[in-house]
Each structure stands twice: as C-alpha cells, then as structure tokens.
Structure 1
C-alpha cells in the first residue's frame, strides 16, 4: 500500500477528492495533509476526514525558501510518503526539495500544458481565443509546470466565458482527473490518461 502526503494552500477541493478516492481496492492511502498556511480551510476538512495534518506558516520564513522547506520536511518525512501530491499548493519549491522527491511528486495545473504554465491560466486561454481549455497532472521537476504529463482533461471554451466560469468547469475536470491519475500512478501503471 502506497503512502500519500498531500500539500495544500487553501480550501483543498482536489485534496478532498484524492482522499475520498483512496478507499477499497485503491493501491494508496492518505497519511498526511500539510499546508503552508495554518488557517487553510482544507486542514479542518482533512481532520474531519480523519487524516493527520501539519502546517508550516511560510510567512515566518520571508525570503528564505530553503528554511521554510526544511521546516516542512519535518512532518513530511515523519509521515514517510511514497507519493507527494501538490493540490493547490501555492509555493514554488526549490530544486533541492523537488529532487528529494524525484519521480514521486505529482501536481495538478489548470491548463493543457505546455500551454500557460504559471498563473492566470483561464484568462490567458480566453485572451488567446482557444476553443478548449483543461487541466494537466504531471510529475514535478525543478522547472515550473514542466514535468512529464501523466494525464489531461479537456473542457470546451464557451461563448461568453469569463475566467471564473471557465475555472469552475476546469475544476470539475480536475476533480475527475487527479484521482484517476493517482490510482494509476500508485499502481505502477505506465501511460497517460486523457479524459
């Protein structure tokens, strides 16, 4: 059984879907939900679901990402995860941290990578006149939003879409895609998923 730690920064909607999926014959189980914000709403949700939590407030480490990551590593390593899932974790991780979890860290990004790495993905897709948008689960590498793609889900861009309306539809697709990719990844299955 694979041990999964999930990093969040906010409400944790993707984290909830991942935790809910890890039951029955799923090859993994959640062992820790950690956040860079002790007030992240997702922490209380994780506790209500019976998953251990930890928080390391990044604001106490201004300008020193390495020190923040060293503090975050404490509870993470105590949980002994086989897989680390970033689910709305809004901190850029240093190459040293990423390399420690090389080949074990997944991230979900709200665009069809390699299009629109970084922020404001929905506004950028609308400004470009794209006919479709979507989300990507990928392995994390030291280059932001650049690792090998494990799965993508596509959603149509509709006439009159706003960034918020498009984001809501993409988030629904994220909630389907991330659990499907995690199950496959935890089972050691190769190949990518396209929804």
Structure 2
C-alpha cells in the first residue's frame, strides 16, 4: 500500500509509550498506517524520545499551562486537527477527556485499557484484579466515548492470574497482550474493516461485533 493510502494516526501519550512502540513496529512491518504525530501532556514522557528516534514529530502540550480541562482540550483538538488524522489513539494518555473533545472524534478514537472491561475501569487495575481474587485478567481496546473507559469494546485479550502474581508480574503479562491487540484493532480500522455503527456498536466486515 502506498504511503498516500495509509491511514494517518495521531498518538497521545503521557508516559513511556510502549503501546506507541508496538504501533511503530507494526507500521514498520507493513501495517497500513502512518503515525504523523505524537503528542504528550508531559514534557518528560519517554515516549517522546521513541517518536523522535523514528522520525515522528513529537509535540508537547502541557495541561499545567491551562486553567481548566475545557480550554486544554480545545487547544489539544486544534493541535491534533492540524495533522488531519484518520484515527487518534490514546497510548497511555492519562487525562480524562471532555465530552466535547470526545464527540469531535466519535468513531475515530481508540483507547487501550489494562483490564477486561467493564471490570476495573480507571487506575490500578492489576492490584484491583488481585484484590478481587480474579482468576483471569487482561486488556481491552475500545472506541472512546464520554464515559470513562466505557466505550464499545473492539477486542480483548485474556491472561490467567497466577497464584504467585503480584501487580508487577500481572501487569507485564497483560502488557504483552496489549502490544498484540492494539495494532490488530488499528489494522482493522486502517483496512476499512472496522467502524463504529450508527447503533453505537463496533462493526467488523459488515457485521455487528458480538459483545465480549
């Protein structure tokens, strides 16, 4: 597929950007995407260096420079739209987004969350799974909506919770799966196979996807 036909993607990060790296690696391996910019709300996010290393424009828009969430999101939207992306991916972007921002990208913004949604929305998912004596845990890719970690689920991966697990070992096992399923879901979208239907459900290959 020629570069002009690849899906343009903007990635939002706040930290290390390991899911960003998974997408960069998938792009290099032939995934029909072109990551056109990486934007972070933190100047010290290591993921910015990952982007620069691969020649991807890396930009910083610090939330600390804004009096409220609404004005920050308005400027973030303008910055993203300057790149005219077909898809926005949240790759460890640790911000709660305003409904206006989310609605602007309805059907073309993904998030990956380290739990089997709808379980364990929010933070500290691995420890919460252990505290709840879960026997399995995992990760979910979903369309972003105004409901925190509540958008329609596209793809999930499951891992066992082992008796000897702590939050760190469980997180590492889940992260391996995140790096697998995020590029897969982005690839479906880039190939035109996946969309958010008018019924609010993900559709794949012309059929509504079953709920996980």
Q: TM-score, normalised by structure 2?
A: 0.87
Give yes or no for the alignment of 1:140 onto 2:155: no
User: Residue 174 of structure 1 corresponds to which residue in structure 2?
Assistant: 178
Conserved in 2, the CA contact under 8 Å of 1:107 and 1:137?
A: yes
Take 2:167 and 2:173, find their aligned partners in 1: how far apart are those partners?
10
1:107-118 matched pairs, under 5 angstroms: 107-118=111-122
Decide whether aligned partners of structure 1 residues 25 and 162 sit closer, same or farther in structure 2, where only a CA change above 3 A counts: closer
Aligned match for 1:183, one of 164, 175, 187: 187
Conserved in 2, the CA contact under 8 Å of 1:105 and 1:139?
A: yes
User: Residue 3 of structure 2 corresponds to which residue in structure 1?
Assistant: none
User: Residue 152 of structure 1 corresponds to which residue in structure 2?
Assistant: 156
Q: CA RMSD in A?
A: 1.4
4+ aligned runs moved over 6 Å, structure 1 = none
User: Residue 61 of structure 1 corresponds to which residue in structure 2?
Assistant: 66
Q: Deviations over 1:68-110 (max 9, x none)?
A: 1122223211111010000000000000000000000000000
Equivalent residue of 1:22, what SS? helix
User: Residue 20 of structure 1 corresponds to which residue in structure 2?
Assistant: 25
Q: What is the Cα deviation at residue 24 of structure 1?
A: 5.6
User: Residue 74 of structure 1 corresponds to which residue in structure 2?
Assistant: 78
5+ long unaligned stretches in structure 2 = 1-5, 195-203
Equivalent residue of 1:135, what SS? strand
User: Residue 35 of structure 2 corresponds to which residue in structure 1?
Assistant: 30
Q: What is the Cα deviation at residue 27 of structure 1?
A: 2.4
Take 2:29 and 2:16, find their aligned partners in 1: how far apart are those partners?
25
Q: What is the Cα deviation at residue 160 of structure 1?
A: 1.8
1:91-110 matched pairs, under 5 angstroms: 91-110=95-114
Give yes or no for the alignment of 1:4 onto 2:9: yes
Q: What is the Cα deviation at residue 38 of structure 1?
A: 1.4
Q: Deviations over 1:159-187 (max 9, x none)?
A: 12111110111111101110111101111
5+ long unaligned stretches in structure 1 = none
Take 2:126 and 2:30, find their aligned partners in 1: how far apart are those partners?
35
